């Protein structure tokens, strides 16, 4: 709201000025957004650093994210994240409609659009959790060599990936997970993998139609598949079985990929989650009429800025993790 010339003169040295014609709260939100944007760009650029450093062996996103709800076993790269992107853009739209309704002091419309925004955000966070679950669980399993390289298995007949469970030989063993209660109390280990290295390696040696696919990419950007002889040499180097992904091991390829995936999408997901929480608070404030009494809905505008920023970041995360 513009001040008159006389008011400006009177307030010049005693506060009441609105620099850049924005209110205090909005400017502070912009400060936060600019600094947060720099934080996210720092993360994404460091992801770019690791990727260009390992440009010839980076995992192929299309092979990592292939799931779609209720479509089991169907290879559907990208569709689900595309859907998530649309959900987030749409919740951004309902947010901006809520802001617009706020300008018109239309309480019921603000309430309605805020509710839609909250639902959209919640669906997005849920989708991300599902995406994480698939990523962590893994699909095919792989072997890891001493140097941290991932060896994946391919059927030589049709070129398709083979889960380690399909060919591993069962070797009876007494090995069980070591817990602090049944050995050195200060040492323990996580759950054992479903198959031991020997079971996978011997199964591989018996099945003549299996080949190994290494991390390195060929000229066309496809993972290199070794010949049967090279595969048999390579499999000797295996030291561990990897199923799924965590911060230390990653069956999809370079472990940095999993680290950055967890860190960046996790940090973004945390932003979405806190956005939903803030939206819920504002939503109830709208319902009980706080802003009606205050005479303006600027608070909705401020959380709106934050919400759009979260959407903006997702646009970049989507590009750099799933498309590029």
Partner 1 sequence: MAEDFHKLAIFRGLLKFKSNVQKIWGVLIFLSIVTTIEVVLGIVKPEFLLSYFLNMKLLNWIFIILTLVKAYYIAWDFMHIRDEKGSLQGAIVLPLIILIPYLIFILVLEADYIFDVMNSGFQSWNF
d(CA 250, CA 252) in angstroms, rounded, equals 5
Least distance CB 205 / partner 1 (angstroms): 20
Query: By C-alpha distance, which of 199, 191, 206, 204 is closest to 244?
Result: 191
Does 56 participate in binding partner 1 (rule CB under 8 A)? yes
Q: Which of 51, 107, 161, 178 binds partner 1 (CB under 8 A)?
A: 51
Least separation in angstroms between CB 239 and partner 1: 11
Binds partner 1 (CB under 8 A): choice among 8, 9, 12, 49:
49
Q: Which is nearer to partner 1, 66 or 168 (CB)?
A: 66
100 touching partner 1, by CB under 8 A: yes
Host H or E run for residue 314: helix 298-318
Using CB under 8 A as the binding rule, the residues of this chain from 158 to 217 that contact partner 1 are: 216
Single out the segment in contact with partner 1 by CB under 8 A; choices: 93-101, 136-144, 171-179, 195-203: 93-101
Least gap, CB of 136 to partner 1 (angstroms): 24
CB-CB neighbours of 290 under 10 Å:
13
For the CA atoms of 21, 23, 29, 32, the dihedral, rounded to the nearest 10 degrees, stands at 70
Contact between 45 and partner 1 by CB under 8 A: the answer reads: yes
- Write b or e for each residue in 106-125: b if 16 or more Cβ atoms lie within 10 A of its Cβ, otherwise e: ebeebbbbbbbbbebbbbbb
Asked if 279 touches partner 1 (CB under 8 A), the answer is no
φ, ψ at 5 (rounded to 5°): -60, -40
Instruction: Specify whether the backbone of 166 is left (phi greater than 0), alpha (psi in -120 to 50) or beta.
Output: alpha
Task: Provide the minimum distance between the beta carbon of 173 and partner 1 in the complex, in angstroms, as a whole number.
Answer: 27
Strands (E), the chain: 142-145, 150-155, 210-217, 223-225, 238-242
Report the alpha-carbon distance of residue 75 to residue 139 in Å, rounded.
12
> Given the rule CB under 8 A, which residues bind partner 1?
1, 20-22, 27, 30, 33-34, 37-38, 41-42, 45-46, 48-56, 62, 77-79, 82, 85-86, 89-90, 92-93, 95-97, 99-100, 103, 145-147, 149, 216, 220-221, 237, 301, 304-305, 308-309, 311-312, 315-316, 318-319, 322-324
């Amino acid at each position: 709201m513009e001040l008159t010339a006389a008011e400006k003169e009177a307030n010049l040295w005693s506060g009441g000025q609105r620099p850049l014609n924005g209110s205090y709260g909005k400017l502070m939100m912009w400060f936060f957004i600019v600094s947060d944007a720099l934080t996210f760009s720092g993360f994404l650029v460091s992801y770019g650093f690791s990727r260009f450093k390992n440009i010839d062996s980076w995992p192929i996103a299309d092979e990592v994210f292939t799931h779609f709800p209720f479509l089991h076993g169907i290879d559907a790269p990208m569709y689900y994240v595309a859907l998530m992107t649309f959900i987030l853009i749409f919740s951004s739209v309902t947010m901006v409609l809520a802001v617009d309704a706020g300008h018109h002091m239309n309480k019921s419309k603000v309430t309605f659009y805020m509710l839609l925004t909250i639902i959209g955000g919640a669906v997005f966070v849920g989708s991300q959790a599902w995406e994480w679950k698939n990523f962590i669980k893994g699909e095919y399993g792989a072997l890891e060599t001493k140097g941290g390289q991932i060896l994946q298995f391919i059927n030589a007949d049709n070129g398709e990936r083979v889960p380690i469970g399909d060919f591993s030989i069962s070797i009876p063993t007494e090995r069980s997970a070591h817990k602090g209660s049944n050995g050195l109390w200060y040492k323990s280990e996580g759950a054992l993998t479903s198959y031991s290295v020997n079971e996978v390696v011997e199964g591989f040696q018996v099945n003549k139609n299996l080949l190994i696919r290494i991390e390195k990419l060929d000229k066309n950007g496809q993972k290199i598949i070794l010949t049967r002889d090279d595969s048999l040499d390579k499999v000797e180097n295996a030291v561990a079985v990897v199923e799924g992904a965590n911060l230390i091991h990653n069956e999809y390829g370079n472990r940095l990929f999993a680290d950055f995936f967890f860190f960046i999408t996790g940090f973004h997901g945390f932003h979405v989650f806190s956005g939903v929480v803030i939206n819920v608070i504002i939503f109830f404030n709208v319902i009980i009429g706080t802003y009606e009494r205050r005479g303006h809905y600027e608070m909705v505008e401020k959380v709106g800025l934050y919400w759009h920023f979260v959407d903006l970041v997702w646009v970049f995360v989507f590009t750099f993790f799933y498309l590029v």
